[in-house]
């Protein structure tokens, strides 16, 4: 077994026991749906998702802190989504250089001009954070990004707590239960979707999941579908890809239909990247048809835009949070989690940001307006990119952000067909949130459980879908 030297074995599990524990943990993962489809096996096959064998230590203080601000975070995003001037101001520059953002803004403008058919929207958010380590001390927690589109893994996150409880138990660890926080992300989010469907108010309407042709993260998506069914077995979920929707979606007097079924709620798990849409624009026409309809959208195009990196940059600037909250205490509590962001506009400030990043690339992350992981630029890649576009207006399609350095803790990342080895990992904590409402009337607003993902120290990105990270759960200290 290949283990890195000088790393403490977490929870004292000996090298002798690790293979047996890992084998049982993999079976537990498969039995409980901590699993995915993979490209090289038949669509019927499932393998365990990459997962951490034991829970990773995480600061209890900051865990509770970010949980306590999630309702305000939900409300902030809701307000941004309902503020056309703010959204447009944030995104006009990006739209000029980024076709994907422009396409979204075009849909947004069209429905704004025509008048919004459905005032309610459902937000299922996941606000991602990293602990901020300075001089070997955790000094705070910083927001990495707010996801408003296809916030994934709520269906699997609760199972990680149970998996870790099982692993610690069979490894002879005691007194750990109170350190593993309860996690109700699945049922909380399913409840939000059921409430949105009920708010639509038609018993025969369905919930439409817009999905990819072949869903690799199928267990997570199905878990949510089945949790909806557990809450109300009279709701039907339809899963359709854009290719299928092109043929069977229609609207009659703003009511949305798939075949003969009226749709009450549209839940997008796909459509957050340019290559999710065909070049001929037909998929964009489907997106517009849905957006124009009376169905409740999760997310609406406004919520989609509210989750962009440019919006996050604007929210981090002094004076912006005050526009959305009268209460100074709330502003202060939220402000604490925003790291410094820098616009790369064509002005002196933008020039200064470029020079700063070229001088100290390891202190920053450069982000294009993309989702789904694997798109950000770090270190030499960032330097190369800035050298080539840093003085051109193309730089405006990116933002710059302070790089956060979370603490490293020992764990074992369990992956298919590999031998487990102890390694140092860094974690990213996501807090889920649900918000349902119109511009002036909020019907639901609550925090909805959490997700921990961890990656090997030294890796820049940590997305599971993009193949960089592992699902995990926090051990609060
Ligand atoms: P995406 O929308 O593609 O998921 P994110 O902004 O969430 O983009 O970044 C992807 C990953 O890059 C994060 O999960 C994290 O591992 C890393 N990352 C992003 N921003 C920072 C940052 N400021 N400091 C350190 N790592 C970061
Ligand atoms: Mg994202």
- With bands split at pLDDT 50, 70 and 90, how would you rate the model's confidence at 335? very high
115-158 pLDDT, tens digit per residue, is 999 999 999 999 999 999 999 999 999 999 999 999 999 999 99
Q: What ligand has the least distance to the C-alpha of 365?
A: 1
3-class state of residue 132 by DSSP:
strand
Q: Is 372 a residue whose pLDDT tops 90?
A: no
Q: Is the CB of 463 under 6 A from ligand 1?
A: yes
Using alpha carbons, list the distances in angstroms from residue 169 to 165, 306, 319: 6, 43, 50
Helices (H), 43-156: 60-68, 70-81, 84-97, 99-114
Total residue count of the chain as it appears in this document: 477
Q: pLDDT tens for residues 13-55?
A: 988 899 999 999 999 999 999 999 999 999 999 999 999 999 9
Residue 303 pairs with which residues in a beta bridge?
Answer: none
pLDDT confidence bin for 465, thresholds 50/70/90: low
Q: How far apart (Å, rounded) are the C-alpha atoms in residues 299 and 440? A: 18
Q: Residue 184 in 3-state DSSP? A: coil
Share above pLDDT 90 across residues of the chain, in percent, rounded to a whole number: 91
| pLDDT value, residue 89 | 95
Distances (CA, A) of 373 to 5, 106, 367, 430: 30, 25, 10, 15
Q: Which two tokens stand for residue 143?
A: 């927001």
395, 93 contact by CB (below 8 A)? no
For position 1, what pLDDT does the model report? 46
Q: Which residues pair with 266 in a beta bridge?
A: 208, 297
Q: Is 403 in the pocket of ligand 1 (CB under 6 A)?
A: yes
The answer, yes or no, to whether any atom of ligand 1 lies below 6 A from the CB of 449, is no
Q: Tokens 């405006």 sit at which residue?
A: 396
Report cis status (omega within 30 of 0) of the bond before 221: no
What's the CA-to-centroid distance between 373 and ligand 2, angstroms? 7
Label residue 467 by pLDDT band (50, 70, 90): low
Confidence of residue 442 (pLDDT cuts 50, 70, 90): very high
Q: Whose CA is nearest to atom 9 of ligand 1?
A: 373
Residue 71 burial (C-beta neighbours within 10 Å; 0-12, 13-18, 19+): middle
- Output the average pLDDT for the chain: 95
Indicate if the pLDDT at residue 107 is higher than 90: yes
Distance CA(340)–CA(321), nearest Å, equals 14
Residue 418 has pLDDT above 80, yes or no: yes
Rounded Cα–Cα distance for residues 269 and 274 (Å): 14
Determine the Cα–Cα distance for residues 254 and 249; give it in Å rounded to an integer. 12
pTM over 0.95: yes
> Is 338 close to ligand 1, i.e. is its CB under 6 Å away?
no
Please give the Cα distance from 165 to 385 (Å, whole number): 45
Q: Does residue 132 line the site of ligand 1, with CB under 6 A?
A: no
The protein residues having their C-beta less than 5 angstroms from ligand 2 (an ion) are 147, 371
How many whole angstroms from 296 Cα to the centroid of ligand 2? Answer: 22
Residue environment code for 224-244, b if the CB has 16+ CB neighbours within 10 A, otherwise e: bbebbeeeeeebebbbbbbeb
At residue 276, does pLDDT exceed 70? yes
Task: Please identify, by atom number, the ligand 1 atom nearest to the C-alpha of residue 367.
Answer: 6
CA dist., res. 58 & res. 181, Å (int): 11
Nearest CA to ligand 1 atom 15: 461
| Ligand 1 midpoint to CA 183 (Å) | 23
Ligand 1 and 451: CB distance under 6 A: no
Cα 272 to Cα 307: distance, rounded to the nearest angstrom: 11
Q: What distance in Å separates the CA atoms of residue 377 and residue 387, rounded to the nearest whole number?
A: 13
Q: Label the pairing between strands 442-456 and 422-437.
A: antiparallel
In DSSP terms, 413 is beta-bridged to 52
In short, whether 406's Cβ falls inside 6 Å of ligand 1 is no
pLDDT digits (tens, 9 = 90+) for 55-64: 999 999 999 9
Catalytic residue positions?
Answer: 126, 145, 147, 152, 309, 367, 371-372, 453
* Token pair for 223: 């878990």
Q: How far is CA 247 from the centre of its chain?
A: 30
* Mutational test site, ligand 1, from 129, 145, 425, 469, max ligand atoms within 8 Å of CB: 145
d(CA 369, CA 374): 12
Q: Which residue in 209, 200, 207, 202 sits closest to 118, CA to CA? A: 200
Contact partners, residue 70, CB within 8 Å, separation at least 6? 127, 431, 432, 433, 446, 447, 448
- Contact (CB, 8 A) for 426 and 457: yes
Which ligand is in closest contact with the Cα of 151?
Answer: 2
């Amino acid at each position: 077994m290949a283990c890195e030297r000088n790393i403490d074995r977490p929870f004292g599990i000996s090298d002798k026991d690790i293979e047996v524990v890992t084998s049982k943990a993999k079976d537990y993962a498969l039995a409980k749906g901590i699993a995915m489809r993979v490209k090289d096996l038949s669509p019927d096959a499932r393998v365990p998702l990459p997962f951490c064998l034991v829970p990773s230590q995480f600061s209890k203080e900051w865990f509770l802190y970010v949980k306590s601000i999630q309702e305000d975070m939900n409300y902030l995003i809701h307000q941004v989504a309902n503020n056309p001037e703010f959204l447009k101001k944030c995104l006009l520059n990006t739209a000029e250089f980024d076709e994907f953002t422009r396409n979204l803004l075009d849909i947004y403008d069209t429905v704004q001009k025509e008048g919004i058919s459905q005032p309610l929207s459902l937000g299922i958010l996941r606000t991602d954070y990293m602990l901020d380590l300075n001089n070997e001390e955790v000094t705070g927690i910083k927001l990495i990004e707010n996801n408003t589109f296809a916030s994934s893994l709520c269906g699997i996150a609760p199972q990680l707590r149970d998996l870790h409880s099982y692993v610690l138990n069979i490894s002879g660890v005691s007194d750990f239960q109170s350190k593993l926080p309860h996690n109700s992300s699945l049922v909380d989010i399913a409840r939000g979707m059921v409430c949105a469907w009920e708010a639509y108010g038609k018993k025969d309407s369905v919930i439409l999941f817009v999905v990819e042709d072949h869903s690799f993260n199928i267990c997570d998506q199905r878990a949510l579908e089945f949790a909806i069914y557990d809450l109300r077995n009279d709701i039907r979920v339809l899963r359709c890809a854009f290719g299928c929707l092109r043929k069977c979606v229609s609207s009659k007097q703003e009511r949305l239909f798939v075949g003969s079924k009226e749709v009450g709620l549209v839940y997008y798990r796909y459509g957050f990247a340019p290559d999710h849409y065909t070049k001929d624009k037909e998929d964009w026409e489907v997106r517009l048809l849905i957006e124009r309809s009376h169905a409740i959208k999760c997310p609406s195009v406004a919520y989609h835009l509210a989750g962009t990196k440019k919006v996050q940059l604007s929210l981090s600037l002094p004076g912006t949070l005050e526009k959305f909250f009268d209460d100074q205490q709330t502003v202060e509590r939220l402000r604490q989690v925003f790291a410094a962001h820098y616009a790369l506009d064509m002005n002196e400030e933008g020039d200064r940001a470029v020079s700063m990043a070229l001088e100290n690339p390891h202190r920053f992350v450069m982000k294009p307006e993309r989702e789904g992981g694997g798109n950000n630029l770090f270190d030499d890649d960032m330097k190369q990119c800035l050298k080539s576009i840093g003085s051109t207006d193309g730089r405006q399609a990116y933002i710059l952000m302070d790089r956060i350095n979370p603490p490293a803790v020992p764990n074992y990342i369990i992956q298919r067909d590999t031998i487990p080895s102890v390694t140092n990992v860094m974690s990213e904590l996501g807090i889920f949130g649900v918000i349902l409402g119109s511009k002036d009337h909020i019907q639901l607003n609550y925090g909805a459980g959490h997700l921990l993902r961890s990656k090997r120290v030294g890796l820049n990105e940590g997305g599971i879908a993009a193949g960089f990270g592992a699902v995990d759960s926090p051990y609060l200290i």
